[in-house]
Each structure stands twice: as C-alpha cells, then as structure tokens.
Amino acid sequence: MPDAPANNTWFTYFPKDYRWSAAICGMLTGAQFGATEIGELDQVGRRLAKKLGDDNHWFREWVRMADRVRELGRAAERKKQNLSAASHYKRACNYYQMAERFRTPKDKKALDAYRKGVNCFQRFARLTDRPKIETVEVPFEGRKSLPGYFVHAENTRKARPPVVVFFDGLDVTKELQYMRGVEDIVRRGMSVLILDGPGTGEAIRFRKIYLRHDYETAGSAALDYLEGRKDVNAKKAGVMAISLGGYYAPRIASMERRFKACLAWGAIWDYYATWEKRIDQAFKTELSVPGHHLEWILNAKNIDDALAKLDGFRLDGVVQKMRCPFLLTHGADDKQIPRRDARALFNAVGSKDKTFKLFTVEEGGAQHCQRDNLSIGTTYMFDWLKEKLGA
C-alpha cells in the first residue's frame, strides 16, 4: 500500500482519498475480531492504488477477494472443518459488504454482493462454536420487521442477563457492527440485539424501510421484542449506536424511557446543519460514503429534497428529556464531526449521570468512532455498559 505521510495521526493509505483511507483503516482495526487478515487487505490495497478514486475498481477488487475467501470457507465446510470455515466466512462477509458500500444506486451487482455477504455471515453464525448467534426478526409497524441477530451473553449464571440493543449508523450494517466488538460485549455477561434499523443494511436494500428522524419507533420495537423473550432482562436494557447512531441512540433513550443506559459511539448534534455544510462544499469534504448515498437512504428525489427531509434530525429540544445514564465517546481528531458538536450534545443531555470521553491523539482512538485504535474505545465503552446495566 502507499506510504502514509510521516506526520499523520492515523493510517492514511491513500492520502488524497479520505473515504477510501477511512474504510481501509476501519477494516484494519477490525482484524482483532477476525474481520480481516492484513495480508488479504494488503493485496487488495496494492491493486486499488492503480486506480485511485475509481469506486467501480474498489467494488471489483473487494468482491474478487471476498469470492476467494468464501471459497476457502466452502472448502473447509465440505471437509467438516467448521471452525476454519466460520473464520473464512466472517472475513468474506466483511469484504463483500465493504465492496458494496460505495456503490449507489444499488444495482443488481451491488445487491448480489450484499446478499453473499449476509449469507456468509449467517454461515459463520451457524458454524462457529461461540458465541451463540440467532437470526431474528423484530416486528416493526404492523406487517414490517427489522432484521437482526440476537447474540447470547457469556460468562454469566444469570438466566435473564442484561441486554444491549445495538443500532448501526449512516452506512454500517448489523454484520459490520458485529465485527466491531460484539463478541467482547457478550463476554462481559450481556446479551446483544444487533439490528438493521430504518435506512441501513437489509432494511433498506430488500425491504425499502427508509431513514427517518423518529428513530425511537425502532428502539421501542426492539424493547417490545425483548420483553417477549424469557432469556434476557428487558428491564435492564441499554441502547447504543455508532457514527450517525450518535443521533439514533440519544433520540431513542430520550423518547423511550424503558432504556436504562445510552451510549453514543460518536457525536451528532444537528444533522441537517452537518449536511447543509457538506452540500455547500459540493461534497469536497471528509465523507465516509459518496454524497448521493444520502438521497438513496432517504428516498429523496434529489439532494435538495434529501436536505429537506433532514429537517427533523436535530437533537436540541429532545435530549434534554433523557434521564438514564449516558456515555458519549468522540475522537479529538474526528474529521467528519467537529468536537463542538460533541460538546453541544453532551451539555444538552438531561441525564444527571453522564460522561463525555474524548479520545486524544496521544492515547489513540482520536479518529471517527475510534477507527484508528478500536480496542481503546471498545474496552472503555463496554466496561461502562457492564457497570451501568449490572452485568
């Protein structure tokens, strides 16, 4: 891969392309959870460098690697080497979904790649020896449902342990969320319900459940579902979400009082203002996905329509209602969301028990959602959840 500038604070493999570099950095840091192999990532990275900025090239190369790793999984599964197969399938899922994330509108090739990724994850879930993972459907607004995974708590004797509801962000998925540390949450004695909420993952791709500002509808649906299970304590439920989830989780916890803890993994304050600025700059700023991704997830006619639909995505006047313990984590060198937005959110939250953890460049985890040092962030956050939910 191309060398990063010596004075850079994070892994910038493509110095002229923030989006590609951010994606590569996020994949690298997921290696500790079996999401990638650095050798496979390096092979793709060297080929990507030949056509920088070409998202079709990005798609082809990651699908190529995903196909290769999926075949390793198939070969191992045929030999009944289930743990080896599970390991390969997990990585293949990551590569398929990272291939597809920049391809909008979602054409047949994109959706086919995405389906392969979901299938690979479900094969991983079936073949792994731990943790126990169920594929679930959470009823949502009548005949609809939100797809998810229920991951069972470990290292606990409680018949009904606490549970964490984990929502994604602007461009994340429940499978990618799992590879950001869910195995470490359940090791701390908490079960986890991971969901593709409105505007993300399978919910938008295959069910046309678009992004919406009243995300508490999804949070309430999750709790209603958990209250029907006999293997968790829904009265000790926390909610967390990542990136744009810094809007989802605080909104949910402020409007749905049954949640006993709220974790915002990255700050959002006024999402309308955030995108208004990005549009004014013609998207020539730090973005994790192409600008037109916004139109797709909002089912907007054009970018002006998309911006109008973001009018309700503001937390002022909402988070003042929050009463449960609240943790906000943010990176001091976050290029996507400024520190002042994090401070505004934290100051406005009405909870008496609230903590703002700002990760510095010196300690690590200073980039967006701690992608430059994932374990620095996850250990802090997951220990906080364990304490607040009594695991």
In this model, does residue 3 exceed pLDDT 70?
Answer: no
**Whether pLDDT at 301 is above 80:** yes
Q: Are residues 105 and 167 in the same domain?
A: no
Q: Which two tokens stand for residue 307?
A: 């911006």
97 lies in the same domain as 114: yes
Residue 3 is assigned to a structural domain of this protein:
no
pLDDT of residue 105: 82
Same domain? For 374 and 292 the reply is yes
Q: State the amino acid at position 185 in one-letter form.
A: I
The Cα 225–Cα 242 span in angstroms is 22
Specify the range with the lowest mean pLDDT, choosing from 79-88, 235-244, 276-285.
276-285
Within a domain: residue 87?
A: yes
| Residue 46: CATH number of its domain | 1.20.1440.110
Per the prediction, the chain carries an average pLDDT of 95
Q: Are residues 200 and 335 in the same domain?
A: yes
- Residue 66 CA to residue 80 CA, distance in Å, equals 21
**Domain boundary, last residue among 71, 105, 122:** 122
High-pLDDT (> 90) share of the chain, %: 93
Residue 172 domain-assigned (yes or no)? yes
pLDDT reported for residue 2? 43
Mean per-residue pLDDT, 77-85: 98
Within-domain flag for 262: yes
Q: Look at residue 9 and tell me if it is in a domain.
A: no
Picking from 81, 102, 122, the residue at the C-terminal end of a domain is 122
Domain boundary among 72, 88, 122: 122
Assess if residue 2 is contained within a domain: no
Tell me: do 368 and 275 sit in the same domain: yes
Residues 314 and 255 in one domain: yes
- 4 belongs to a structural domain: no
pLDDT in the model for residue 216: 98
Identify whether residues 223 and 324 lie together within a single domain: yes
Buried b (16+ CB within 10 A) or exposed e, 200-220: bbbbbbebebebbbebbbbbb
Same domain, 84 and 185: no
142 belongs to a structural domain: yes
The residue whose two tokens read 């399938």 is 89
- Same domain, residue pair 173 and 322: yes
Assess whether 162 and 267 both reside in one domain. yes
Same domain, 148 and 64: no
Distance CA 362, CA 264 (A): 22
pTM: 0.96
Number of domains the chain contains: 2
- pLDDT, mean of residues 81-90: 98
**Domain assignment of residue 112, given as a range:** 18-122
* Same-domain check for residues 304 and 379: yes
In degrees and rounded to multiples of 5, residue 195 shows phi and psi of: -130, 145
Query: Any idea what the CATH number is for the domain that residue 158 is in?
Result: 3.40.50.1820
**Higher model confidence: residue 44 or residue 2?**
44
DSSP string, 320-383: GG--S-EEEEEETT-SSS-HHHHHHHHHH---SSEEEEEEPTTTS--SGGGTTSHHHHHHHHHH
